[in-house]
Amino acid sequence: MKRRGVGYASMFYGTGYGNGFPDESRATALIKQEGCIIINVGVSEVGSGGHSVMWQIATEALGVKKELIKIQHNDTSKMHDSGTAAASRQTYNTGNAVLDACRKLRENMIKAMENQSISLIEDSEVIIQIYQQMILKGIETKIEGYFKATSSEVNLETGQGDPYWPYTFGLQKAVVEVDDETGKVDVVDIVAIFDAGKIVNPALAEGQSIGGTAMGIGYAIMEEIQLDNGVIKNRNFSDYIIPTSKDVPNIKTYFIEDLEDTGPYGAKGLGEPVMLPTAPAIINAIYDAIGVRIYDFPATCERVLQAIKNKESKK
């Protein structure tokens, strides 16, 4: 018989390398005589939308039409080190470096135009004019931006310190159906709520939430590397099974934008935190459905069925 259950799980996640490790990002903003602005920045586009986030932050800070701004991010001979696309740090760290470079470049552009107000620049001819004025007046056309995150090393014996900053928060609700004859768990509904500060691109952020939830479903009920004396037995996608579209339910995502003072426009990290609450919410929902708690993960059919049997034998 299929039994339905509801579970909730919260989480927090500290952005960045943390523990006082140098967490630095750099970006270079250049106004070009061809009438465009180039941002050289080491943001690896792993699929998470980092390229777009840098583009949007640059567009906002420069007050220039987005089509006139190009992000170059793939050649180490042309960009400075901005650290890894990891630790959910690119929007916060590298976004701050881009913001720093672009704000300073805009100041120089305004200076070149002798403080005439420049609202949104939509025409490359205007950029060419500004560029020419900058060259004429000896104003720097190439600006370096920099940001270093704040964290402190924790004491190894007491753990006291400020290991990460900032923290992202979130919560998910999972609704599952558990077949108490087969042990199969179906995730039928997910509600995801995150506070990652300002959301730079809501559609991309929702995509992250959906992708993270899918990964969390795999972590909760499907995925496991099987080892035999150090040998991985399931090496292919034919036997290492990850969720498909049929395993991923309707996911409704909401963002609570509690702005972070030190973030670019108030943004924090999002890429990793989105998968954290899914698995525990599912595990709690399984308990709600059949009164059985899983302690060894993932909650495969075999484990759920075994847990049901163990419970019945105790009666």
Partner 1 sequence: MKAVGKNIIRPDAYEKIIGKAKYPDDITFEEMLYASVKRSSIPYGKVLSVNIDEIKQLPGVVAVIDYTMIPGAITHGVIFKDTPILVKDMVKRVGDAIVLVVATDKASLHEAMKQVKVEYEEYKGVFSVEDALKEDAPILGDGSNVLYDIKIKTGDIENGFEEAEFVAENWYNTQMTEHAFLQPEAAVAKYDNDVLTVYVATQYPHYDREEVARCMNIDEDKVVIINTAIGGAFGGREDINPQCHAAIAAYITKKPVKILYSREESTISHCKRHPMKMYYKTGVRKDGKLCALKVRIYGDTGAYASWGMNVLRKAAVHASGPYVIPNVDIEALAVYTNNPYCGAMRGFGATQVPLAYESQMDILAEKLNIHPLIFRFMNAFEVGSITATGQKLTSSVGMKKCIEKIADIDKIDL
Number of residues counted as binding partner 1 (CB under 8 A): 112
If phi > 0 it is left, if psi is from -120 to 50 it is alpha, else beta; for residue 117 that is beta
Helix (H) or strand (E) holding 102: helix 95-112
Q: How far is residue 64's CA from residue 102's CA, in Å, rounded to a whole number?
A: 10
Q: Is 311 in the site for partner 1 (CB under 8 A)?
A: no
Q: Contact at 8 Å (CB) between 185 and 304?
A: yes
DSSP secondary structure letters along 256-293: -----TTSGGGB---TTGGGTTHHHHHHHHHHHHHS--
Closest to partner 1 by CB, 37 vs 283, is 283
**Residue choice 125, 254, 309, 311 for contact with partner 1 (CB under 8 A):** 254
CB of 252 vs partner 1, minimal distance in Å:
9
Q: Is 5 in the site for partner 1 (CB under 8 A)?
A: no
x/- track of binding to partner 1 for residues 110-139 (CB under 8 A): ----------x-------------------
Using CB under 8 A as the binding rule, the residues of this chain from 67 to 106 that contact partner 1 are 71, 73-77, 81-87
**Residue choice 30, 121, 171, 307 for contact with partner 1 (CB under 8 A):** 171
The answer to whether the peptide bond before residue 277 is cis (omega within 30 degrees of 0) is no
Stretch of residues binding partner 1 (CB under 8 A), selected from 32-40, 103-111, 194-202, 305-313? 194-202
Residue 50, both tokens: 């980092």
CB of 41 vs partner 1, minimal distance in Å:
12
Q: Is 180 in the site for partner 1 (CB under 8 A)?
A: no
Active site residue 272: yes
Q: Is 201 in the site for partner 1 (CB under 8 A)?
A: yes
Strand partners, 171: 10, 193
**Residue choice 218, 253, 292, 307 for contact with partner 1 (CB under 8 A):** 218
Q: With b meaning 16 or more CB within 10 Å and e meaning fewer, what string describes 275-306? A: bbbbbbbbbbbbbbbbebebeebbbbeebbbe
Using CB under 8 A as the binding rule, the residues of this chain from 50 to 69 that contact partner 1 are 51-52, 55-57, 59-60, 63, 66
Q: How far is residue 72's CA from residue 282's CA, in Å, rounded to a whole number?
A: 41
Stretch of residues binding partner 1 (CB under 8 A), selected from 103-111, 136-144, 283-291, 306-314? 283-291
**Residue choice 147, 187, 284, 289 for contact with partner 1 (CB under 8 A):** 284
The alpha carbon of residue 30 and the mean position of all alpha carbons in its chain are separated, in whole angstroms, by: 27
Q: Which of 275, 274, 279 is nearest to 297 (CA)?
A: 279
**Residue choice 118, 204, 248, 308 for contact with partner 1 (CB under 8 A):** 204
CB of 108 vs partner 1, minimal distance in Å:
20
Q: How far is residue 208's CA from residue 53's CA, in Å, rounded to a whole number?
A: 13
**Active-site residue list:** 272
